[in-house]
Amino acid sequence: MFSERERERYKRQMMLFGDEGQERLKKAHIFIAGAGGLGSPVSIYLAVAGIGTLTVVDRDVVDQSNLNRQILHYDRDIGRKKTESAEEKLCAINPDIRIRVIDTTIEEKNAGDLVGKADGIVDAMDNYPTRYLLNDVSLRKKIPLFHGAICGFYGQATTIIPGQTACLACIFPKAPPKEVFPVVGVTPGLIGMVQATEVLKYLLKRGELLTNRLFIWDGIQAHADEICIERNPRCTACGSFCETPGDI
Amino acid sequence: MWFFLRNTGGHMMKVKVRFFARFRELLGTDVIVEVGERTTLPDLIKQVTQKNVEGYNAIFDEHGHFREYVILMRNAKRIDIADAAMNIVADGDDVAVFPPVAGG
């Protein structure tokens, strides 16, 4: 059931997917790993769309150098916990949803508990070791993983449905070297929108998901590419978790 | 951006090599290359990158092996870099080479 305020707030999108669709969003719980360049636009747009519960995890404090892209955080937030800053903004953006923030580092020992019974995991991390942890949790708990990553004007995104699609380790078996990556805010903005759109479509059961496809964006050329991907029969991550490893 | 590289001798085949992200910055977007018969995937990429030290070094290590995170696709099919040398390119092949991006 929706309050009058909610009906008014979501009126224009309920023209698209009705009470039933909006109810699906309201009942959903999405876990967002990171409140940085990708986590900011993803969480803002999922909040305004009316996802019932958003959990946002981050371990950092806001730094001045974050502000060219991490649009959840303002100049006045410098030195403040990103989770605190994110909670304040997201609650103000939509007081009709539940925002949970957790100020911690995602590690092997806590990743499963942090994700809990979420309906989807958004990968808004900036490193592959943590992404592989999220991938493992996604496979173990059979929770979809919405991957995104960026560098400079380039970005990539894909949607992983455990047991059905290639997993993150099938696509990227080895992590690229860690580096301080250049970035301009529009790139995580764009890739974050791809991820958030995927989350909505998954919850609404609408359209074609970005499964077994890697979306590649080149902002310099204003060109989007798509590469078909498939499960890797030799994948060390999904071979032991998937129920049907033989159906490759 | 298109480049044409030419080899001499034997039956030549035209292959398209596409680079992405950082590799694209170093080596260009699309390269059409003519290669001889029995050219393997590593041979192909080495031929395209041989005159670009930075580009070559981004893709290959000091032993001339693909760096472990390099993603290779041939005609939209993923090729494990460990198997790349067993892949002989064919006329009209579309080869994509890209590094995963990591930032968030």
Provide the shortest C-alpha distance from residue A9 to chain B (in Å).
30
Q: Is B3's Cβ below 8 Å from some Cβ in A?
A: no
Report whether pLDDT(B9) > 90: no
Q: Which of A38, A177, A229 sits opposite B104 (nearest CB)?
A: A38
Q: Do B80 and A150 touch (CB under 8 A)?
A: no
Task: Report pLDDT digits (tens) over A1-49.
Answer: 899 999 999 999 999 999 999 999 999 999 999 999 999 999 999 999 9
pLDDT band at B91 (very low <50, low <70, confident <90, very high): very high
pLDDT at B5: 53
ipTM score assigned to the predicted complex = 0.82
Q: Which of B71, B77, B104 sits opposite A37 (nearest CB)?
A: B104
The alpha carbon torsion through B42, B44, B50, B56 (nearest 10 deg) reads -50
Contact A187, A150 (CB under 8 A): yes
Rounded distance, CA A59 to CA B68, Å? 29
pLDDT band at A240 (very low <50, low <70, confident <90, very high): low
Per-position DSSP letters for A96-140, written without gaps between them: TSEEEEEES---TTTHHHHHTT-SEEEE--S-HHHHHHHHHHHHH
Contact A21, A14 (CB under 8 A): yes
Kindly identify which residue of chain B lies nearest to residue A234, measuring between CA atoms.
B80
pTM of the entire predicted model: 0.91
Task: Report pLDDT digits (tens) over B51-79.
Answer: 899 999 999 999 999 999 999 999 878 89
Q: Mean pLDDT across the stretch B78-100?
A: 92
Percentages of chain A per state (helix, strand, coil), in multiples of 5: 40, 20, 40
Counting residues of chain A whose pLDDT is more than 90, the rounded percentage is: 88
Kindly identify which residue of chain A lies nearest to residue B96, measuring between CA atoms.
A227
Kindly identify which residue of chain A lies nearest to residue B78, measuring between CA atoms.
A229
**By C-alpha distance, which of A117, A112, A116, A90 is closest to A101?**
A90
Q: Do A156 and B100 touch (CB under 8 A)?
A: yes
pLDDT at A241: 56
Residue B68 with chain A: CB contacts under 8 Å:
174
Q: Mean pLDDT across the stretch B5-29?
A: 82
Rounded distance, CA A112 to CA A92, Å? 29
